[in-house]
A = this chain, B = another copy of it.
Amino acid sequence: MTQTIRPAVQQGPLSPDELHKMNAYWRAANYLSVGQIYLLDNPLLKEPLKLEHIKPRLLGHWGTTPGLNFIYVHLNRIIKAHDLNMIYIAGPGHGGPGLVANTYLEGTYSEYYHNISQDTEGMKRLFKQFSFPGGIPSHVAPETPGSIHEGGELGYSIAHAYGAAFDNPDLIVACVVGDGEAESGPLAAAWHSNKFLNPVHDGAVLPILHLNGYKIANPTLFARIPKPELEALLVGYGYEPYFVEGSDPEQMHQLMAQTLDAVLAQIKAIQHRARTGGDTQRPRWPVIVLNSPKGWTGPKEVDGQKTEGYWRSHQVPFGELASKPEHIQLLEAWMKSYRPEELFDENGTLLPDLAALAPVGERRMGDNPHANGGVLLKDLRLPDFTDYAIEVDKPGTGTAEATKILGKFLRDVIKANRRERNFRIVGPDETKSNRLDAVFEASDRVWEAEIVSYDDHLATDGRVMEILSEHTCQGWLEGYLLTGRHGFFSCYEAFIHIVDSMFNQHAKWLKTTRHIPWRARIASLNYLLTSHVWRQDHNGFSHQDPGFIDHVLNKKADIIRVYLPPDANTLLSVADHCLRSRHYVNVIVAGKQPALQYLDMDSAIKHCTKGVGIWDWASNDQGHEPDVVIACAGDVPTLEALAAVDILRQNFSTLKIRFVNVVDLMTLQPTSEHPHGLSDWDFDAIFTTDKPVIFAFHGYPWLIHRLTYRRTNHPNIHVRGYKEEGTTTTPFDMVVLNELDRFNLADDAIDRIPGLRNTAAHVKQMLKDKLIEHRLYVRKYGEDMPEVRDWQWPY
């Protein structure tokens, strides 16, 4: 089933001249890599190496770098030979020096960064800037041309690679997977992405598992299981493995070249069979296993300790250059072993016959536009979202399922962009459960695994992608967006925390790329968090967690947006806005259950445009300062807050109540903290400067305090939200357990309105009685009291 190319086969495909040149090119990349880690000056070693030429602080990772360089030079060869459209993903992103070296050698780097020219002075700057204050990061960061994958946090390379390949039929994504990274969960799951890649409409992913052997201080599991076991694993994942193993450069060059020829032929054959032969069987895509020593070509030993082929090569193989003069000699000898004088001319420019090995223009992997997706990005064709509006004659009386309405809009987004093939929806098996199933009228779910006759909206081609791995969903979508397309991720609210750390990395990428002039902006990453905390009464405590918002808000204000549309029309308006936006992470929290509707489309658009506003129809303080402000954010809190207003109005007829709803959570922050923040003047005008504010919030209550602590009226803002109480129970019992229910909110208001406190004893008693009545009712019938369940806005 597998095809192992044995070292014995040494003839071809490289001619002696080609072999010699490719090895020279590789030496050049390795030389530049070591130079970046170590040197401040004397870049070509034209004078004897001295301490003053060496960086005082040595930062960087050598171990993985020669392997990354080896792969790069070989990919260059097949790109050139076959005019391939290829990008390079470096799973072990800490091998940054290698990718920088290669994009420098191919010329891209100097085009993006004119100061880093292809001469001695430029090389000196190239060396100095690496991992240096004011310079560039140590990883394959956004600053690196050709990168869509920093590889700082490990585990996402394969998912990113597939995301890039989807709907890019001409693209081949070479994806180096570190054997350390391969131990991580997200990576272990992402191998299965091949069951979602359509050989007709999508490009190819070529995973190259780099068996480098070691992590920081340990061997890797993948390098320490018998080869047949590793082979079985990859076959089990659905691939056909090709092994390239050894350490002798010449042999390895021939092996790698031969293997890449074979692998490329296989990819082409698969695509040909599918594209012209109509073969719909899931192909067995090739994977290369490159088994080469960690720190290959580096020092074999340092101070008598094994270094090449061992974990000691992981970062900087040796330091202490100030205290150990022999280490300076060791460094010089190491760098000279690459024979720079045979690689660069007098001016420090790569010799022309070596430079000729690289592809040209956008075929260079550093300059491939797919790796700077914003330049390829086209606006989505969006239907007019107001066409999907539901009628709201009287606020708070009719019901609808917000996400179901959204589903119709998304269905037509899919339809409108069918030809462009630049929009996908991802989710962990929840599109239907989250009631977005109208999308299946426009598209099936992609599924290249076996399909049976009674399967439901599964097809080898489709815009909806479902796998029970939030990690894989997130990774695919990131890869898809980073290569210039659009997408939408719907997820159970509690379980989006699974990708907290991936979100962090993407947010950091967005933050950094805002300040890199040549990086074009990409489409926003849009999350719809539904099946949210207040309506996971049926699944219980484990499914109840609204904390993703808190997590998101720790990232830079200029890339973070959080929306809590209270009903269907506001959800439509928000979703339309998010799909048009660029370079943000948009988090939308909205329920899927039937719920009261409040705003007609005109009102919804106005409200969402402002982000926060007084709902006049729910207020009775017109033209006056209110006695109390009832505020809310989120669909269920809005319902409870309105019902609380009803209670208050029924019991205190002269009370002036102002009702405020927040759609855009960022409006609560000061303008100094977030561009959406209300001015203090506007905030005070809405929330008053001294009246009690009862705030019913979707998430953890302290988030509202965090956002508003600088506001004038903050001492009077009393927040109710989720306080980590829950179980399997009824929807209304969920709000009661967390004291976010109408009775508790009304009681909170009574406690805080001056003058009322002492005269409202009977109302307070009534509220207590209601809570007891509720408890008895749900324990008896297992469902909510009709008066609660069927409540409507009565005014």
A-side interface residues toward B, CB under 8 Å? 40, 55-57, 59, 93-94, 128, 131-139, 141, 150, 152-155, 180-181, 183-192, 195, 215-221, 224-226, 229-238, 306, 310-311, 429-433, 445, 447, 449-452, 454-456, 458, 466-472, 494-495, 497-498, 500-501, 504-505, 508, 511-512, 538-543, 545, 547, 550-551, 554-556, 700, 702, 705-706, 709, 714, 724, 727-730, 733, 775, 778-779, 781-783
Contacts and interface: CB of A to CB of B under 8 A. Distances in A.
Given A454-B306, A539-B152, A554-B724, A730 B57 contact: yes
Contact of A185 (B131, B189, B538): B189
B500 A225 contact: no
Given A183-B469, A729-B133, A449 B224 contact: yes
A538 to B, nearest CB: 4
B233 A138 contact: no
A426 to B, nearest CB: 13
Contacts of A451: 224
A131 B539 CA distance: 8
Contacts of A231: 236
Given A139-B540, A238-B229, A467-B183, A781 B153 contact: no
Contacts of A311: 456
A230 B224 contact: no
Contacts of A153: 494-495, 498, 542-543
Contact of A236 (B138, B229, B431, B500): B229
A498 B153 CA distance: 10
Contact of A432 (B180, B217, B541): B217
B724 A555 contact: yes
Contacts of A431: 217
A450 B139 contact: no
A540 B141 contact: yes
Contacts of A728: 59, 131-132, 135-139
Contacts of A727: 137
B504 A497 contact: yes
Given A57-B783, A236-B236, A454-B310, A216 B136 contact: no
Given A133-B782, A729-B133, A430 B724 contact: no
A392 B539 CA distance: 54
Contacts of A458: 218-219
Given A541-B141, A705-B706, A730 B133 contact: yes
Contact of A551 (B306, B450, B500): B500
Interface centre among A94, A136, A189, A220 (most CB of B within 10 A): A189
Nearest to A557: B724
Contacts of A152: 539-543
Contacts of A187: 185, 189
9 contacts: A40-B782, A56-B783, A137-B542, A152-B543, A153-B543, A154-B468, A188-B189, A311-B456, A500-B551
B216 A433 contact: yes
A748 B440 CA distance: 57
A727 to B, nearest CB: 6
